[in-house]
Amino acid sequence: MLPILCTALERWPRRLRSEEVGKWWNSHLGYVVRIIARTGSEEVRMRAATICRDRVNAALGTAAAHEWLAALFQLDGVRAVDAMIDHVSAQKDRAAALVRALGAVEQGHRSVPLRFPDDRSKVEALLRAVRFTYDVLHPSTDPVRIGAHSVDDREEAEGVRDFLIGALFETPGSDAWRALMELADEPAFGHFPDRLRQIARQRAAKDADQTFLEPQDVIDLETRAEAAPHDTDTMHELVAERLRELQHGLRHDDFTNRRTLRRVTAEPEMQVNLAGLLRGLSRDAYKVVREDEAADLKKTDIRFLSSRSRQRAVVEIKMADARWTAVQLRTALEHQLVQLYLRMPDCRSGFLLLVHDGSRATWSLPGGDEVDIGGLVDWLQREGRALCERDGFAFRIDTVALDLRDPVLVDPHGQKQKPVGGKGKPGSKSPREQAEGADDGLPEDH
């Protein structure tokens, strides 16, 4: 039936004999498009949207465009916003044309909620619509109404103008927050910037509080004391917790392979070892994939895949030794981790993991400061937060150091400190290690 309806749209009469006949055809147009919008597949809806867009283009500047515009808003909000702007801009009296066009928006929304391919496209389209309506129908030009009165087309248009702002607020995600903050800084919205910023904060608060557990997640929470990650925040927090657990195990576990890992100098081999250890810590909350191919044939070092959703996280491993400068690590943080690996909506969690064996003591920061591994991590964390803020917190990134040096333990009598391996600095060889051979390949801490 749906292909038949699309064919009917293609053959819809372009010229009608009278206004009475036009009303009959317009009412049936609404029925046909509503059926397609509610029951049609994506392919069928896009075919119908193309037909409606062509009809709006053919009728630009005429009353016939309004019915097709209302139909288009039910099928494809992005193309509908562009069509509305083109239609209104083609007429001399833009204000009157926009009043009628916003009536089409209201008519389409009453039938079916405005449809957009994704939240980002929705925010971009709504932002264009809001800016255009405030340019043509600014609140400062609204007529003053006193006492009881009948609602006219202009007042309905004012309501739709407010509806577009509300639709931005109801859209989840950082894109909507950023759009509201942008509007607050523009002169056209200078009469209520504080209100827009408050709405943006409320939007961010709603996004931060959206934690929904499926029945299986509740079972997992009872049996494993944690639920599988279902969004960027829960994915990021889970990976961060596993990296902390990995560090604790390497430093304090009775069966630590810290010494073995210190022998590893090639990053690919270190990736294999750490991927295996992290897989052993999964407890069925995630799967670990190595060298998984991302966009543009780029391969990630380690990728985490949630066991109960499409959420993913990426860990980029760098050896914190002489081969990487602080500036190079900052470049890897932005151009490799963020720009290459964190593009998709379901993969917005990333970690730069610095494996430190003690062979390098300091790094030079821009400006000349010399810092140790802790200072390097702090600097990269600040740089990472700046990247997140620049992009409206669309992703989360952290820099973490994995310390392979022997931990320093306090003497039971509190007289002195000594490394686990024996006397000397953290990472120095114990007498047993020296007896096994001076050329064992273990890096010294300098």
Model confidence over 111-138: pLDDT tens digits?
Answer: 567 788 888 889 999 999 999 999 998 9
pLDDT of residue 418: 57
Which of 137, 180, 193 has its CA nearest to residue 161?
Answer: 137
CB atoms closer than 10 angstroms to residue 146: 5
How would residue 424 be classed by pLDDT, with cut points 50, 70 and 90? very low
| Percentage, residues of the chain above pLDDT 70 | 83
Mean pLDDT value across residues 35-64: 84
pLDDT of residue 360: 93
At position 240, the amino acid (one-letter code) is: A
H helices present in 189-302, as ranges? 193-208, 215-224, 232-252, 258-262, 267-280
Query: Residue 427 has what pLDDT?
Result: 46
Structure-derived torsion over alpha carbons of residues 389, 393, 398, 399, reported in degrees to the nearest 10: -30
290 pairs with which residues across the strands?
302
Tokens 């309501």 correspond to: 159
pLDDT above 70 for 433: no
Candidate ranges 70-84, 90-104, 205-219; pick with highest mean pLDDT: 70-84
pLDDT tens digits for range 347-364: 999 999 999 999 999 999
Q: Which tens digit of pLDDT belongs to each residue from 50-86?
A: 998 888 888 776 667 778 888 888 889 899 899 889 8
pLDDT, one tens digit per residue, over 372-389 is 999 999 999 999 999 988
**Could you tell me the pLDDT band of residue 219, with boundaries at 50, 70 and 90?**
confident
Q: With 0-12 CB in 10 A as exposed, 13-18 as middle and 19+ as buried, what is 311?
A: buried
Q: In this structure, what are the phi and psi dihedrals at residue 114, rounded to the nearest 5 degrees?
A: -55, 135
Cα radius of gyration rounded to whole Å, the chain: 30
Query: What local confidence, expressed as pLDDT, does residue 411 receive?
Result: 66
Rounded distance, CA 122 to CA 109, Å? 14
CA dihedral 135, 137, 141, 146 (to 10 degrees): -150
Show the DSSP H helices in 19-173 as ranges: 19-39, 42-58, 64-75, 77-89, 94-111, 119-136, 153-169
Q: Is the dihedral of CA 425, 362, 397, 339 positive or negative?
A: negative
Provide the pLDDT confidence category of residue 413 given band limits of 50, 70 and 90. low
Q: For the chain, give the mean pLDDT.
A: 82
Q: Could you report the per-residue pLDDT of 136-150, keeping only the tens digit for each? A: 989 998 888 888 878
Q: What is the mean pLDDT of residues 238-244?
A: 94
The encoded tokens of residue 116 equal 């957009």
> Residue 144: what pLDDT?
85
CA atoms within 13 A on the CB side of 289: 14
Residues 352 and 399: beta-carbon distance below 8 Å? yes
* 199 CB-near residues (< 8 Å, 6+ apart): 165, 169, 180
313 three-class SS: strand
Can you give the pLDDT at residue 304?
A: 92
pLDDT, tens digit (0-9, with 9 covering 90-100), for 305-341: 988 788 899 999 999 998 899 999 999 999 999 988 8
